[in-house]
Chains A and B, each alone.
Chain A
Amino acid sequence: MSTNKLYTLDRDQLDQVLGLWNEKSTVYVPVGKGKDINLTPLGEGVRTEDYINLTLPVKEMVFEQKEALFSWKRREEGIEVKGLSKQHAKNRILYGIRACDTYGIDYKDRFFQREFPDPNYKSRRPENTIIAVNCLRAGEHCFCTSIGTGVFSTVGYDLSFTPFDSFFLVEVGTIKGQALINDAESFFTETDERLLKDKNDLREAVEESFPLKMDLSNLWDDMAKTFNADFWVDEANACIGCTGCTNVCPTCTCFNVVEEKVDQNEGKRVRYWDSCQSEHFTRNAEYHNPRDAISRVRYRIYDKLKYIEERFGHKGCSGCGRCTDVCPTYISIIDIMRAMRKAATENPEPPAVHQTTEIRHIIKDRELKNRHGLYTPDVATITGIKQETPEIKRIFMKYDDPELHKNYEHKGQFFQLTVFGKGEIPLSIPFGPGQSDELVFDFKDVGSVTDVLFDMKVKDKVGLRGPYGHAYPYNSLKGRNLIFIGSGVAMAPLRTVIEPVIKNTEDFKKIFILGSALRYEKLIYKEEMVEWSKIPNFNVKYAFKDPTDKVDAIQGHVNDLLPDLDVDWSNTTALICASPERIRKVAGDLLDLGLRSKDILVTLETHMRCGAGKCGHCKVGSHYMCVDGPVFNYEEMLALPPEF
């Protein structure tokens, strides 16, 4: 940006310039008093220059608190869906943004516009022009200089204004910014780099005046040594889950979706800001919640100070201090950083593996080939239904647009299935790449969406997005012994591998399929397993808690089957799908038997919502289960914080 042009603007002429810009766009300026400062359309209030910061970050202009994702309508010939991503009537010029918030914008540009780009953000972002006005004084909880995101804006702006006594030094950040200058050319005087030295002096003086200065050079070290420190208990006890902190955060991006119905035949899916500080954020069906009060409060702090930076290379905290300002029970990220320092110095824990691990997943840019954008499902029709067990059904479907089947690449591990008007759930793909004109899923009736799906009939319509996630690495399994371990419905994700293995049995050595459940009736693929047992190098074994006379089974856990497997453990891969607790037990036994942790593959399907690493619900440490997983090897699983 340093090669861009520099200008000066008389402070007296600012209002004229804003007025001029307001003719083509809507100019938003800071209005209000004290701590109540809002970006308000020009003319709807008295513009103020006497403010520390905006009450709410500029985030809400580009990522709205509530946004429609798509609409759907039942018609005679089917269901019509429409992606809803373009909404603003007029371009916006946002004047008076502080460095912490332009940093937040820069991070959001990175977060929303890469990997699976977010269609709503992508369409809205160019409509907004950001004009930074650099701060000359700090608020009580400002700590951007300690984090390194301020005090003057360095990224995320189109124009940056630095106030001097009688003029602004105006720096151009982007072509969009230059275009604004050109629109009001007569007011701006081009200048040279000599003023940059004055700006630098001013910056140093402002930095010097900051009441809060922290040395954060040891922060990540401290965090590794204080993951279980006592002070977290106090923080957790204090948090009432009001979610104020995440609502005012410039870098919080999590959302949840809800269905807004007009009637039975028409509705919209909308997304709202959601908060990791609410209890329901990671709550699964049947009260299971991988995060307790302590890990909830701790997660926000680790995400802001570490996980975001680990993954995206951007600071996750912009140092604006709003979360501390707003907390009704005085939870302060500043005090917590100090508490970490203190505990790490006085009473350090052995560094937590999941905080020091080098394991990082490669972030890939991916785009889905669906018709109406990332969040909009394509319509499919149910073509067949099979009752697997009293609680489990297999459902067959075809896209209404047969072309979509051609796009199907067997790369992912799961689809997002929509029951229109009810909601969306992730479902594993139980069949291999042979699914060229039909998709098949198995599901258990456990929640409100599956409740409806369970009662659906042939010819009913559903929506599909996907496939998402990383699948099992099929090719690297060739030439090895394979052990498939799945309990109950959890056998479904493993079938994505079992199917191609059956078609190419000569590529593999011994194959073991270990089915387990409480009772035989609860197992899926009962008939298939009998068929598989007839394939030459296949062995099918069963373990049930209750005895059965239907198949030859042992009474007990799946672990009990392992010691008797006649197999060369050094050339064996185990594929497990079960609850994290069960995985740990099985993997522990397998390690004892001589398997390497890299050769244990697990699938962690925890709380996936959007499927694209955007909504934040399945984030564990710096990883998104939906994008980086759900398939991991056991070594990688152990490198995750124990919060899934």
Chain B
Amino acid sequence: MNDISDAEFIMVIGSNTTEQHPLASTRIFEALEKGAELYVVDPRKIRLTDFAHAHAPIEPGTNLPMINAMIHVIIKEGLVDEEFIKNRTENYEEMKKSVEDCTPEWAESISRVKADMIRQFARKYATTDKAMILFTMGVTQQTTGVKSIRALANLAMITGHVGRPSTGINPLRGQNNVQGAGDMGALPDFLPGYQRPEWPETKERFNKVWGDFSCLRGRNIIEMFDLMEEGKMKVAYIVGENPVLSDPDQIHTLKCLEKLPFLVVQDIFLTETAKFADVVLPAGSFLEREGTYTNTDRRVQMIHKVIEPLGDAKPDWEIMTEIMKRIGMDVDYQSPSDIMDEINEATEIYGGISHDRIQEVGIQWPCPDKEHPGTPILHVDEFKRGKGLFTVNDFEFIGDQRSEEYPFLVTTGRVTHQYHTGTMTRKVWTLALEYPEGFVEIHTKDAEELGVKNHQPIRITSARGSIVAPAMVTNRINEKTLFVPFHFAESPANRLTGRNLDPIINIPALKVSAVRIEVE
């Protein structure tokens, strides 16, 4: 995180950092104090734009053309880091060819960011030594999510902005431990430590730890709900997730949960999803358990129990251990630190991270052995795969676009005082009071045209469903664009979003849905 403070140029794309990652944004403010320049790409005038040196008010869903155009400009104007490309990367020529036609004017016609502004972004990024990119779901939750990230990687590699302090492309994680969950294999196609099940050495390694076991690729959440609908998935065990509010196309989600023969939900409160459960397992909150969280910068940090679990609640690891025992597995974990010992054995990246080493300060993985100090920066001398691979990322429209029937695009996100589906924050009166209800941000001009007054309830409808929430009339959002926070069960943004998926990894395009407005 200190790297952010030392950057000279920061491009924030698809991240409302001040409101969603206030501590990361503190580092941006530190950098600004030291004279850094801040460029922001966002369809809304988010708070950071008040401090930014440039703001590209981009059309939702069109990051990729803009990034490709930036690459085009950098190549065209000879601002590439040839040394870096030669020594550290491969496939440059092919990528170069693919962006030949991606002129800023072409990108402007799609993303509505002025061509000159795209040039300004490109030049500034390419010519600043310590230039870093911060991004979040505003980039990934699109049908072009994967391509956009790869394009950002291209951008960083042609300019050599990788593997050095205060450079790189840096995702800010959306939850305190989403990094840790991914590290531990809460992904369909990896075992813990990002080991592919199909690799022979993976099977070998885990056989040593777990004995013989089935090792097949799993399903992601979108696929699982489809299987529920088809009646092929009979049982679901949902831990600490509230898909009724967080997954796209709520009406579909509800239908699937109703159809599912047996549902177990493990959570700290009775969530909207838990109401569908056959069995609810009460879990302890972060205050009631020991363990680790892995932060956005891959730092594995201890959390300590402050109070004993209340009522029937138990820490998640205890509940799962009990279930494993009841289904006949031979497990004997006495504490979270026993589990960490097993993680040490099973993964290389966590190989040397034990609870005693991180009592005071966490360690950043990869940390292969007990002597290893951890790794603050990835890709320093070499990428994981060896040479950095340039990729070709052609833009095509997939999913929702404006139409006569649905003339607005709605993008979703969060507000400062609520967290995710509000399972916790909506129960805290002071936070609940600050943002008691959902809302729809709408541009002043659009509101005037429709005769919508500030705070007036309006109905917005997509091809999937419809919600009602008070309008928040503002000039801090693009015209013909709406913003809805997804925290509120009474006006669930994800009743609007669709299952338009990124074709590569199936991430849903939560940030782009076409809708119409009806004035109630």
Q: Which residues of A contact B (CB under 8 A)?
A: 234, 237-238, 240-242, 256, 258, 272, 274, 278-280, 286-287, 328-330
Q: Which of A256, A272, A328 contacts B22 (CB 8 A)?
A: A328
A237 to B19, CA, bound (A): 12
A287 to B455, CA, bound (A): 8
Q: Which of B26, B29, B33, B429 contacts A258 (CB 8 A)?
A: B429
Q: Are A237 and B51 in contact (CB under 8 A)?
A: yes
With a CB–CB cut-off of 8 A, which chain A residues contact B51? 237-238
Q: Are A280 and B434 in contact (CB under 8 A)?
A: yes
Nearest-neighbour CB distance to chain A for B30, whole angstroms, equals 8
With a CB–CB cut-off of 8 A, which chain B residues contact A329? 18, 22, 25-26, 29
14 residue pairs A–B, Cβ–Cβ below 8 Å = A238-B29, A238-B47, A241-B417, A242-B22, A256-B430, A258-B429, A279-B434, A287-B454, A328-B22, A328-B23, A328-B26, A329-B25, A329-B26, A330-B30
A319 to B453, CA, bound (A): 45
- Count chain A CB atoms within 10 A of each CB in B26, B33, B430 and give the residue with the most: B430
Nearest-neighbour CB distance to chain A for B432, whole angstroms, equals 9
- Chain B residue total in the interface (Cβ 8 A): 20
For A279, the closest partner residue in chain B by CB is B434
Q: Which of A234, A238, A272, A328 contacts B430 (CB 8 A)?
A: A272
Residue B50 CB within 8 A of the other chain: yes
Report B11-45 CB contacts with A as 1/0, cut-off 8 Å: 00000001100110110011001000000000000
With a CB–CB cut-off of 8 A, which chain B residues contact A328? 22-23, 25-26, 29
For B30, the closest partner residue in chain A by CB is A330
Residue B416 CB within 8 A of the other chain: yes
Q: Are A237 and B455 in contact (CB under 8 A)?
A: no
Q: What DSSP secondary structure best describes chain B's contact surface?
A: helix
With a CB–CB cut-off of 8 A, which chain A residues contact B455? 286-287
Further 17 A-B residue pairs, CB within 8 A, beyond A237-B51, A278-B434, A330-B26:
A238-B50, A238-B51, A240-B47, A240-B416, A241-B434, A242-B416, A256-B430, A258-B429, A278-B433, A279-B434, A280-B434, A328-B22, A328-B25, A328-B29, A329-B25, A329-B26, A330-B33
Q: Are B22 and A240 in contact (CB under 8 A)?
A: yes
Nearest-neighbour CB distance to chain B for A165, whole angstroms, equals 31
For A283, the closest partner residue in chain B by CB is B433
Report B410-439 CB contacts with A as 1/0, cut-off 8 Å: 000000110000000000011001100000
A584 to B29, CA, bound (A): 42
With a CB–CB cut-off of 8 A, which chain B residues contact A234? 50
A286 to B455, CA, bound (A): 9
Nearest-neighbour CB distance to chain A for B174, whole angstroms, equals 17
A181 to B54, CA, bound (A): 64
For A329, the closest partner residue in chain B by CB is B29
Report B87-118 CB contacts with A as 1/0, cut-off 8 Å: 00000000000000000000000000000000
A286 to B513, CA, bound (A): 30
A274 to B434, CA, bound (A): 12
What are the 10 tightest A-B residue pairs by CB atom distance, in nearest-first order?
A237-B50, A280-B433, A328-B26, A328-B22, A330-B29, A287-B455, A258-B429, A240-B416, A280-B434, A278-B434
A241 to B22, CA, bound (A): 11
A238 to B455, CA, bound (A): 24
A329 to B22, CA, bound (A): 8
With a CB–CB cut-off of 8 A, which chain B residues contact A278? 430, 433-434
A491 to B18, CA, bound (A): 46
Q: Are B416 and A241 in contact (CB under 8 A)?
A: yes
With a CB–CB cut-off of 8 A, which chain B residues contact A238? 29, 47, 50-51
With a CB–CB cut-off of 8 A, which chain A residues contact B18? 240, 329
Nearest-neighbour CB distance to chain A for B251, whole angstroms, equals 30
A241 to B47, CA, bound (A): 12
A274 to B50, CA, bound (A): 27
A138 to B133, CA, bound (A): 37
For B429, the closest partner residue in chain A by CB is A258
Nearest-neighbour CB distance to chain A for B472, whole angstroms, equals 10
A238 to B46, CA, bound (A): 11
Nearest-neighbour CB distance to chain B for A237, whole angstroms, equals 4
Q: Are A240 and B26 in contact (CB under 8 A)?
A: no
A238 to B18, CA, bound (A): 9
For A274, the closest partner residue in chain B by CB is B430
A272 to B26, CA, bound (A): 27
For B28, the closest partner residue in chain A by CB is A329
Nearest-neighbour CB distance to chain B for A274, whole angstroms, equals 7
Q: Are A240 and B433 in contact (CB under 8 A)?
A: no
With a CB–CB cut-off of 8 A, which chain A residues contact B50? 234, 237-238
Nearest-neighbour CB distance to chain B for A467, whole angstroms, equals 28
- Count chain B CB atoms within 10 A of each CB in A240, A272, A274 and give the residue with the most: A240
Q: Are A240 and B429 in contact (CB under 8 A)?
A: no
Nearest-neighbour CB distance to chain A for B471, whole angstroms, equals 11
Nearest-neighbour CB distance to chain A for B373, whole angstroms, equals 21
For A244, the closest partner residue in chain B by CB is B22
A7 to B26, CA, bound (A): 47
For B27, the closest partner residue in chain A by CB is A328
With a CB–CB cut-off of 8 A, which chain A residues contact B33? 330
Q: Are B434 and A237 in contact (CB under 8 A)?
A: no
Nearest-neighbour CB distance to chain B for A215, whole angstroms, equals 24
A388 to B33, CA, bound (A): 60
For B32, the closest partner residue in chain A by CB is A330
Nearest-neighbour CB distance to chain B for A616, whole angstroms, equals 14
With a CB–CB cut-off of 8 A, which chain B residues contact A272? 429-430
Nearest-neighbour CB distance to chain A for B199, whole angstroms, equals 42
With a CB–CB cut-off of 8 A, which chain A residues contact B434? 241, 278-280
A330 to B23, CA, bound (A): 11
A255 to B11, CA, bound (A): 40
For B33, the closest partner residue in chain A by CB is A330
- Count chain B CB atoms within 10 A of each CB in A237, A256, A286 and give the residue with the most: A237
- Count chain A CB atoms within 10 A of each CB in B33, B51, B454 and give the residue with the most: B51
For B436, the closest partner residue in chain A by CB is A280
A54 to B406, CA, bound (A): 57
With a CB–CB cut-off of 8 A, which chain B residues contact A256? 430
With a CB–CB cut-off of 8 A, which chain B residues contact A240? 18-19, 22, 47, 416
A299 to B15, CA, bound (A): 30
With a CB–CB cut-off of 8 A, which chain A residues contact B29? 238, 328-330
With a CB–CB cut-off of 8 A, which chain A residues contact B417? 241
A234 to B26, CA, bound (A): 15
For A243, the closest partner residue in chain B by CB is B430
Nearest-neighbour CB distance to chain B for A38, whole angstroms, equals 13
For B472, the closest partner residue in chain A by CB is A287
Q: Are B23 and A237 in contact (CB under 8 A)?
A: no
With a CB–CB cut-off of 8 A, which chain A residues contact B30? 330
For A260, the closest partner residue in chain B by CB is B429
With a CB–CB cut-off of 8 A, which chain A residues contact B22? 240, 242, 328-329
Interface residues of B in 26-77 (CB under 8 A from A): 26, 29-30, 33, 47, 50-51
Nearest-neighbour CB distance to chain A for B418, whole angstroms, equals 12
For B49, the closest partner residue in chain A by CB is A237
With a CB–CB cut-off of 8 A, which chain A residues contact B416? 240-242
A279 to B19, CA, bound (A): 15
With a CB–CB cut-off of 8 A, which chain B residues contact A280? 430, 433-434
A240 to B46, CA, bound (A): 12
Nearest-neighbour CB distance to chain B for A334, whole angstroms, equals 14
With a CB–CB cut-off of 8 A, which chain B residues contact A286? 455
A258 to B432, CA, bound (A): 12
A328 to B25, CA, bound (A): 8
A1 to B51, CA, bound (A): 51
Interface residues of B in 249-269 (CB under 8 A from A): none
A186 to B30, CA, bound (A): 53
With a CB–CB cut-off of 8 A, which chain A residues contact B25? 328-329
